[in-house]
Structure 1
Amino acid sequence: MDKYESTKFKAGGYKWKLVLFPNGNKKRNVDDHISLYLEMCGDKGIDPKFFVIVDYKFFLLNGHEKNYLVFEDANKNMKKYCIFQTIIGGLAGFDQFIPLEDFSDASDGYLINDTCEFGVDLFVSKKKRRGATEEFVCGHITNTVMYKYVWMIRNFSKLNVERLCSKPFTAGDQKYCMWRLHLYPKGRGRAKGIGFHSFVLELYKPHTYFPDGATVFVRYTIRVVDQIHGEHHYRTDLAMFTTSESLLILWTFITPTANARLLKYDSCIYEVEITILGLLIPQFSTP
């Protein structure tokens, strides 16, 4: 198996689980190591007026010595914040938890009779928003992962609508914000009626999971897939979304004529790639 997940357990009023990649987390280009992470789970979301902060240590049992090897975050200044239903950055833990060679060597005592034991010591604290005028930078997200969403529109030539919206989607396991793509076949605003499609990338319902004043920094690519020749049309850039300005409008991305040449079986494929780079969240204090 590529991934194992522990049963859910409670800590601090929320549910959590351990996620283990026995051959390394391939999404983060990890080889020759075990990857181990803590993930927030369950249906209980965090009130946007609050933050949850976690401090954790991982354990690996040494069966020969009857004690645990302890792993904790090398950078203790990097607190792990949780918003909505997930840890900022998606997962908290170690890409390179332990080398596979060391783990698999029976003489080291970690894997005995094809059995091993992992654990976590988890401390959960909750903080309340102090005020709308002060801000705290959650900062740059390390080990960023790009997520791709594919949107196929069938019977494209028969579209007779002003706007078409994709289903809301998350950037992988970063469930603290959702996204949506809008297509205006005949243009929108200043681009309406001048021969261009308009595309809008939306931070979907940000007040559901973010407090007022929150900002999300992303790198994005929006791509119209050329299903015939492989010569895709795309735009890549950096962008900033806030709770009050949650729409990114791309006025003149592609003409309907050019778009029609990319269709196959009257179906059009759009791809959105999103990498969340960092967050800016209003200041919080202990209640």
Structure 2
Amino acid sequence: MKIGLFSRLKSVDRYESTEFKAGGYKWKLVVFPNGNKKLGVDDHISLYLEMCGDKGIDPRHIVTINYKFFLLNRQRKNYLVVEHANKKAKKYCIHQTIIGGLAGFDRFIPLEDFSNASNGYLIDDTCEIGVEVYVSKMKREGAGQLRKFVNLKTVAYKHVWMVPNFSKLYAGFTQKNKSKTEFLCSKPFTAGDQKYCIWRLMLYPKGLDSAKGSGYVSLFLQLFEPNTHLPTRSKVLAEVTIRILDQIHGKHYYCQGEDWFSDPNWNYSSLHFISQEDIAGLLRMIVA
């Protein structure tokens, strides 16, 4: 993909190449010339590969790809080549229900390095970007493998939930006031551009189930309205770290693990996450 007058893209969020074929499917390159703002990137160019076209994937198969990106150095007549260090772990998995997920790099190259003409990438306001795609098709085996997968790409994402006036919140959740809700929910949030997975945190200041009345706070991560947002019978595998930040001493409380998410039940939780005594002053929660 050759881009001329690159400076004109300062007012453009997203720029796409024409479609091309690889492995029997159609693809395109997607460039965020000023960084992917939705992911908080503003000092790098973001570059992705996107599946497109109307051709679906046979439900009996899973398609995975390995890919690498190229940025032409027009002075040295060679390429800057970027690919994931651990290609096996970073394979991009695609199912017929998902067309349009982005696989690539949120921080492909620093804008400062790219814009400096002496580096050879942007000369006469023109650059050239390429991609190499290896497509693999695997057949599902056995009834247990016929579940649909949603795994658009490996996403590292953090969401911060500020909980103000926690002491008043705690005092309001009393055993005498049965009409008072005993938990607090964060606003629903997505992990990057994966709109098929919407999440929320749920906080029980006085604990839940076995932790109730034990002096501990319970904390849960939950898929929000999965029947609305996820394709039918889909599952999402997520690695989760939940932290409550110690804003004074830096001694954060956290739990982490891996779980499958598919319904609104508690898929990842910690009943005895932190004692009610220790949580005083720790009012910022982060899920990654």
**Structure 1 length as normaliser, TM-score?**
0.57
Give the equivalent residue in structure 2 for 1:255. Answer: 275
Between the aligned partners of 1:133 and 1:52, the Cα distance in structure 2 is 18
Give the equivalent residue in structure 2 for 1:18. Answer: 31
The answer on whether the counterparts of 2:140 and 2:146 sit within 8 Å (CA) in structure 1 is no
Q: Which amino acid counterpart does residue 104 of structure 2 have in structure 1?
A: A
Give the equivalent residue in structure 1 for 2:192. Answer: 172
- Structure of greater relative contact order (alpha carbons < 8 Å, 6+ residues apart): 1
Give the equivalent residue in structure 2 for 1:242. Answer: 261
CA-to-aligned-CA distance 1:210-251 (integer Å, 9 cap, x gap): 55363414041331x444x43555122222123256522211
Give the equivalent residue in structure 2 for 1:200. Answer: 220
Give the equivalent residue in structure 1 for 2:177. Answer: none
User: Does residue 1:216 correspond to 2:237, yes or no?
Assistant: yes
Higher strand share: 1
Between the aligned partners of 1:58 and 1:233, the Cα distance in structure 2 is 38
Give the equivalent residue in structure 1 for 2:176. Answer: none
Change (3 A) 1:126 1:175: farther
Between the aligned partners of 1:4 and 1:171, the Cα distance in structure 2 is 23
- Aligned pair count? 251
CA-to-aligned-CA distance 1:137-164 (integer Å, 9 cap, x gap): 98x9998635242232445244542121
Between the aligned partners of 1:206 and 1:72, the Cα distance in structure 2 is 35
Change (3 A) 1:105 1:59: same
Between the aligned partners of 2:250 and 2:92, the Cα distance in structure 1 is 41
Between the aligned partners of 2:107 and 2:209, the Cα distance in structure 1 is 45
SS of aligned partner of 1:133: helix
Q: CA deviation at 1:165?
A: 0.9
Higher mean C-alpha deviation, range 117-126 or range 146-155: 117-126
SS of aligned partner of 2:15: coil
Between the aligned partners of 2:255 and 2:262, the Cα distance in structure 1 is 22
Q: CA deviation at 1:21?
A: 6.6
User: Does residue 1:92 correspond to 2:104, yes or no?
Assistant: yes
Change (3 A) 1:60 1:190: closer
Change (3 A) 1:18 1:105: closer
Q: CA deviation at 1:203?
A: 2.9
Give the equivalent residue in structure 2 for 1:37. Answer: 47
Q: Which amino acid counterpart does residue 112 of structure 1 have in structure 2?
A: I
Between the aligned partners of 2:83 and 2:250, the Cα distance in structure 1 is 44
The answer on whether the counterparts of 2:73 and 2:119 sit within 8 Å (CA) in structure 1 is no
The answer on whether the counterparts of 2:218 and 2:271 sit within 8 Å (CA) in structure 1 is yes
**Structure 2 length as normaliser, TM-score?**
0.57
Higher mean C-alpha deviation, range 3-12 or range 121-130: 121-130
1:76-115 matches, within 5 Å, as 80-82=92-94, 84=98, 87=101, 91-93=103-105, 104=116, 108=120, 110-115=121-126
Identity within the alignment, %:
27
Give the equivalent residue in structure 1 for 2:145. Answer: 134
Change (3 A) 1:255 1:93: closer
Change (3 A) 1:195 1:80: closer
Structure 2, unpaired ranges of 5+: 1-8, 20-24, 174-179
Give the equivalent residue in structure 2 for 1:272. Answer: 286
Between the aligned partners of 1:253 and 1:76, the Cα distance in structure 2 is 35
The answer on whether the counterparts of 1:163 and 1:185 sit within 8 Å (CA) in structure 2 is yes
Q: CA deviation at 1:181?
A: 0.7
CA-to-aligned-CA distance 1:82-131 (integer Å, 9 cap, x gap): 475763xx6425966699879845595x4223443446688999999887
Structure 1, unpaired ranges of 5+: 264-268, 275-287
Q: Which amino acid counterpart does residue 162 of structure 1 have in structure 2?
A: E
